[in-house]
Amino acid sequence: MTIIHLQPESLARSPAFSAGTITQGAGRLLVVGGQNGVDASGALVGHDLASQTRQALRNVLAVLAEGGASQKDVAKLTIYLVAGQDPREAYGASAEVWGRFPTAITVLIVAGLANPAFLVEIDALAHVGDPA
Amino acid sequence: MTIIHLQPESLARSPAFSAGTITQGAGRLLVVGGQNGVDASGALVGHDLASQTRQALRNVLAVLAEGGASQKDVAKLTIYLVAGQDPREAYGASAEVWGRFPTAITVLIVAGLANPAFLVEIDALAHVGDPA
Amino acid sequence: MTIIHLQPESLARSPAFSAGTITQGAGRLLVVGGQNGVDASGALVGHDLASQTRQALRNVLAVLAEGGASQKDVAKLTIYLVAGQDPREAYGASAEVWGRFPTAITVLIVAGLANPAFLVEIDALAHVGDPA
């Protein structure tokens, strides 16, 4: 276990996220850069928020795996949604791909992303143990 | 002391923030997820920016305390304000709750937050010593 | 070398950024707070995105240097552009000042920044070795 979840009594609880996280034991910081709904060829997987969210999270999971980490090692997820989308579409899609691994989260509605066709971007901080 | 403040000669100085920070000595990363102006029951504390900012910062302080940290251990604060608000209202409210603890800061005006009634969200990175 | 770049097979590759990064060996976290296109006197260097981007990155480099780090130690850059600007202007200006040091990146189009004259803000996370 490399992440401890913080949930002060004075804060509302949510099954979907942690109020905070703290790393535990020696280890290294893994940063996942902003991921979008594009596949290995760089092509957009769809023009709807649910498809793009699923793919962005698959990409986040692939970067975590490449660094030896998985959902349970994530200290923070930040989800950037383009204005005009329904956040609930992203939440539903997240549950499908990510499963139930609450972590510290920030959700923002932004004016846009680097590519005007992108509807969502997701980045992450994780903590992984030192190599054996 | 777990945080050193960086202030290069070539950068303008501000009493309110540090140009950068660097952790000092062994320790762990504490992530505070995005906090809003809601109380322990999840109810919004008010519909004005000052009330929501004070409560969001109280929530940040509660998460820090839960992890054994306080303002002086914060390496970064990010303040997300919804478009159309006056940032000065947030700065005044911050000073009341947070006091004078400059740290590295990013302030963004975003198109919205996860809940349309939220006017501000604040998250943080802190560094705390290893448990004794 | 304090940063390893992660590039899973299943993700599109870019010469400009890494899918993720992971810190290597003992060290400390360096946070660069949001930097804008202002000089040492706090004056805005220009009203165009290219000038502001160059100056914001010079400020990021100054903070990194103050903490004993440089581009190769950067684990994450986040670039916030104000809506209505052409991101390509920022990319061209970045290449001039920053050179070719891919890292994990998030690019966001935001509704605004703390000062209405700011067109860009850039912050960073880096990893530096422990002091000798």
Q: Give residue A132's pLDDT.
A: 67
| CATH number of the domain where residue B36 is located | 3.30.1330.40
Note whether residue A47 is domain-resident.
yes
Q: Give residue A1's pLDDT.
A: 61
Q: Give residue B11's pLDDT.
A: 97
Entry pTM: 0.97
Note whether residue C17 is domain-resident.
no
Note whether residue C39 is domain-resident.
yes
Note whether residue A18 is domain-resident.
no
Query: For residues B120 and B110, what is the distance between their CA atoms, to the nearest angstrom?
Result: 9
Q: What is the DSSP letter of A130?
A: P
Note whether residue C82 is domain-resident.
yes
Please tell me the distance in Å from B13's CA to the nearest CA on chain A. Answer: 29
Q: Give residue C2's pLDDT.
A: 87
Q: Are strands C103-110 and A112-113 parallel, antiparallel or unpaired?
A: antiparallel
Q: Give residue C111's pLDDT.
A: 98
Q: Give residue B94's pLDDT.
A: 94
Radius of gyration of chain B (CA): 15
Count of domains forming chain A: 1
Query: For residues A87 and A94, what is the distance between their CA atoms, to the nearest angstrom?
Result: 11
DSSP C39-69: -TTS-B--SSHHHHHHHHHHHHHHHHHHTT-
Note whether residue C7 is domain-resident.
no
pLDDT digits over C7-42, tens only?
Answer: 999 999 998 899 999 998 888 999 999 999 999 999
pLDDT digits over A35-70, tens only?
Answer: 999 999 999 999 999 999 999 999 999 999 999 999
Please tell me the distance in Å from A93's CA to the nearest CA on chain B. Answer: 16
Residues of C in contact with A38 (CB under 8 A): 12
Q: Give residue A75's pLDDT.
A: 97
Note whether residue B65 is domain-resident.
yes
Average pLDDT over residues C107-132: 94
pLDDT digits over C64-74, tens only?
Answer: 999 999 999 99
- C window 21-80, beta carbon within 8 A of A: 21-24, 29, 75-76
Domain holding A97, by residue range, is 33-128
In this predicted model, which residue has the larger pLDDT, A2 or A30?
A30
Instruction: For chain C, say whether A1 makes contact (Cβ under 8 Å).
Output: no
